[in-house]
Chain A
Amino acid sequence: ETGVTQSPTHLIKTRGQQVTLRCSSQSGHNTVSWYQQALGQGPQFIFQYYREEENGRGNFPPRFSGLQFPNYSSELNVNALELDDSALYLCASSLTAGLDGLEQYFGPGTRLTVT
């Protein structure tokens, strides 16, 4: 069983640029959630995708957007990068949305640095 994978591992961008982060969900999982984890903080929920549709969103501005593809892999896009966007971005997949899918499997994360 392949776990959750994320790419790239590390990324350095300049303020104002755009970035795309990628996540491959665990085999058989149709739900993907994205989190931002700033240094010394816990993960903060950005949004969740279930069967290619957004299925819940946290308190993040519209410049944070996402996609989920038919194979249930997902992308997180961030436009107009700001210094405060520097963080570890975590992807988590689950079997489905709803109670049965609340057990999330996390990837290793992408470390984004904005200069």
Chain B
Amino acid sequence: AQSVSQHNHHVILSEAASLELGCNYSYGGTVNLFWYVQYPGQHLQLLLKYFSGDPLVKGIKGFEAEFIKSKFSFNLRKPSVQWSDTAEYFCAVNPREGTGNQFYFGTGTSLTVIP
């Protein structure tokens, strides 16, 4: 069965530190990839997405992610975090074939940024 792994469950960083959150998936076919963010008390919202093309994608608020096909990974990065980045981050995979419109989410990474 397809799965999405987010190895970092809780991350605590000081402001201005660099961030990298890992995401690995276990689907051998072509996939669409997403990172979602949920700020405290708010809805899940899209941070960035990858469908095809340049494997380095840029999203909102200075976030970027790199798709490495050989490693089945789509890690999220930000060079310098801010206190307002405190949130839950979810990686999601949408296999293009066979499973239709299913999305598989990871268990999430809780990020706390200390001022």
- Interface residue ranges, A against B (CB under 8 Å): 3-4, 33, 35, 40-45, 48, 50, 55-56, 58, 90, 92, 97, 99, 102-109
Contacts and interface: CB of A to CB of B under 8 A. Distances in A.
Contacts of B36: 106
Contacts of B27: none
A43 B43 contact: no
Contacts of B46: 103-104
B39 interface: no
Contacts of A104: 46, 103
Nearest to B101: A56
Interface residues of B, number: 24
A105 B103 CA distance: 13
A87 B43 CA distance: 16
Contacts, number: 57
A96 to B, nearest CB: 11
Interface of B: 4, 6, 32, 34, 36, 43-46, 49, 51, 90, 92, 94, 99-108
B4 A45 contact: no
A41 B100 contact: no
21 contacts: A33-B101, A40-B107, A42-B6, A42-B92, A42-B105, A42-B106, A43-B90, A45-B102, A45-B104, A48-B101, A55-B100, A90-B44, A92-B44, A97-B101, A102-B34, A102-B49, A102-B94, A106-B43, A106-B45, A107-B43, A108-B43
